[in-house]
């Protein structure tokens, strides 16, 4: 069943979580279940000298990959609403990088579809993180490397 | 006697680089002419031929190179066409 409301936001602006939440929950009364996942720049990393990170993406391709992931989710689960928002540009510790919200009839489809979207986003969507560390007055930039444990998350969806 | 010169038809494509690749190469985008029928593997050989970081990044041994053509993930065997946009980037790390 085609999802009636599917939205992708890629922005340099700080994510307005209250607004994003309200978009997902506005139809919850009719649908029963909504799940929201947010991922942020870990504050604990600032103890290791992390001052922030820069997120780069491939404009055009990122949007079409995310659209494809959301379409796949809409085919697998009956959903009323899917919203994905992702930051690009410079972020400081504690800021939200990604928001995924799904809304459907029951909790199972809301939970599973949100996890499916995050797993595919992490493995397929053309975003790259560069961490900025500050130690002894020197700035050191490190491109984050992809992790095998993220690749492994896709196995459960292949059946 | 008629002289016949074989002129190979050429295509022009755009090549873009992202993230660590862009920094490593000191290049975000370039134009490249290729013989018609050339594949992404042919393009990689030309880029590798520039030596230095280009050679390191585009050697056949480097399995960490992801490639897309016109915003779709592509293979080394993908045949390129006039005005295609080919992108090279490392494995993604968003979310």
Cβ-based neighbours of B25, under 8 Å, separated by 6 or more: B17, B53, B54, B57
- At B1 the pLDDT is 63
List residues in chain B touching A: CB distance below 8 A. Answer: 16, 18-20, 23, 68, 71, 87, 89-95
The verdict on a CB contact (< 8 Å) between B95 and A60 is no
**What ipTM was estimated for this complex?**
0.91
Give the mean pLDDT of B47-74: 94
Indicate the DSSP class of residue B60.
T
Burial of A4 (0-12, 13-18, 19+ CB in 10 A): exposed
Q: Which of B23, B87, B93 is closest, CB to CB, to A58?
A: B87
Residue % of chain A over a pLDDT of 90: 79
The C-alpha torsion from B25 through A11 and A151 to B73, rounded to 10°, is: -60
The verdict on a CB contact (< 8 Å) between B94 and A55 is yes
Place of tokens 């006039």: B82
Exposure b/e, A110-136, CB count within 10 A at least 16 = b? bbbbbbbbbbbbbbbbbbbbbbbbeee
What's the gap in Å between the CA of B64 and the closest CA on chain A?
10
Strand order in the sheet with B85-89: B29-35, B10-17, B85-89, B66-69, B72-73
Q: Which DSSP helix (H) or strand (E) runs through A4? A: none
Q: What are the boundaries of each domain within chain A?
A: 5-154
pLDDT single digits (tens) A82-103: 999 999 999 999 999 999 999 9
**Are the beta carbons of B17 and B43 closer than 8 angstroms?**
no
What's the gap in Å between the CA of A127 and the closest CA on chain B?
5
What's the gap in Å between the CA of B13 and the closest CA on chain A?
17
Q: What are the boundaries of each domain within chain B?
A: 11-89
Q: Which of B23, B71, B93 is closest, CB to CB, to A129?
A: B93
CB atoms within 10 A of CB B67: 18
**Among A13-22, A73-82, B4-13, B33-42, whose mean pLDDT is lowest?**
B4-13
- At A83 the pLDDT is 97
List residues in chain A touching B: CB distance below 8 A. Answer: 39, 55-58, 60-61, 64, 86, 97-98, 118, 121-130, 143-146
> d(Cα A14, Cα A82) in Å, to the nearest integer?
20
Which residues from chain B sit within 8 angstroms of residue A55, using beta carbons? 94
Split at pLDDT 50, 70, 90, the class of A1 is: very low
Burial of A36 (0-12, 13-18, 19+ CB in 10 A): middle
Give the mean pLDDT of A152-157: 94
Q: Which DSSP helix (H) or strand (E) runs through A6? A: strand A5-11
CB atoms within 10 A of CB A74: 19
Which residues from chain B sit within 8 angstroms of residue A132, using beta carbons? none
Split at pLDDT 50, 70, 90, the class of A45 is: confident
CATH topology of domain A5-154: Aldehyde Oxidoreductase; domain 3 (3.90.1170)
Q: Is A89 left (phi over 0), alpha (psi -120 to 50) or beta?
A: left
pLDDT single digits (tens) A115-136: 999 999 999 999 999 999 988 8
CATH 3.40.250.10 is the classification of domain B11-89:
no
DSSP string, A95-115: -EEEEEEEEESSHHHHHHHHH
């Amino acid at each position: 069943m085609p999802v009636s409301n599917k939205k992708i936001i890629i922005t340099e602006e700080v994510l307005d979580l209250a607004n994003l939440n309200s978009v997902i929950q506005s139809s919850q009364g009719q649908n029963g279940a909504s799940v929201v996942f947010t991922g942020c720049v870990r504050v604990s990393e600032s103890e290791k000298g992390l001052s922030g990170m820069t997120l780069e993406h491939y404009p055009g391709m990122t949007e079409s990959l995310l659209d494809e992931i959301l379409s796949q989710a809409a085919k697998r689960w009956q959903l009323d609403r899917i919203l994905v928002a992702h930051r690009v540009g410079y972020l400081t510790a504690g800021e939200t990088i990604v928001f995924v919200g799904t809304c459907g009839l029951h909790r199972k489809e809301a939970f599973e579809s949100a996890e499916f979207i995050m797993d595919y986003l992490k493995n397929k969507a053309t975003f790259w993180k560069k961490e900025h560390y500050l130690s002894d007055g020197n700035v050191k930039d490190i491109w984050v490397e992809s992790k095998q444990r993220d690749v492994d998350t896709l196995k459960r969806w292949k059946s | 006697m008629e002289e016949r010169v074989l002129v190979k038809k050429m295509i022009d494509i755009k090549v873009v680089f992202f993230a660590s690749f862009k920094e490593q190469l000191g290049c975000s985008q370039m134009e490249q002419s290729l013989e018609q029928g050339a594949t992404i593997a042919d393009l990689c050989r030309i880029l590798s031929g520039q030596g230095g970081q280009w050679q390191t990044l585009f050697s056949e041994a480097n399995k960490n190179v992801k490639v897309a053509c016109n915003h779709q993930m592509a293979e080394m065997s993908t045949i390129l066409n006039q005005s295609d946009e080919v992108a090279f980037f490392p494995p993604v790390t968003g979310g």
